[in-house]
Amino acid sequence: MIYITQKFQDEFHHIHNVWEVDCDNIQELYIQHMTEEASRMDLVINPYWLNPMDYLIHNSHLSKSDFNKKSKQWREFRRNFTIDHFIKDVFQGVKHEYKVISF
């Protein structure tokens, strides 16, 4: 399966990387992995956006200061462990060179 990851820059989505992987459900596996990582941190996240859920409704088992600390740790983790890292490190994806042709 070929996957194209995008990066949001200058108000537009741009192709970031092109990967070839022997798996056809990388996005679902990435969401599952990230949900499990958040659970290990004792943080409830939105499985679509991967951001921490509301403190009062979903994360009230934490103190407010713990929630803020874990949210900050989570943002750092997400910044470092992107879908590109997941494809490369977990699935040993092959990165392909590409060229965008515009007319």
Name the percent of the chain lying above pLDDT 70. Answer: 100
pTM above 0.85, yes or no: yes
* 91: nearest Cα among 5, 30, 40, 38: 30
Tell me the pLDDT tens digit for each residue of 49-81: 999 999 999 999 999 999 999 999 999 999 999
Burial class from Cβ neighbours inside 10 Å (0-12, 13-18, 19+) for residue 18 reads: middle
Residue 18, strand partner residues: 4, 96
Query: Can you give the pLDDT at residue 100?
Result: 87
The mean pLDDT of the chain is: 95
Query: Can you give the pLDDT at residue 68?
Result: 97
In this predicted structure, the answer to whether residue 103 has a pLDDT above a threshold of 90 is: no
Average pLDDT over residues 90-94: 96
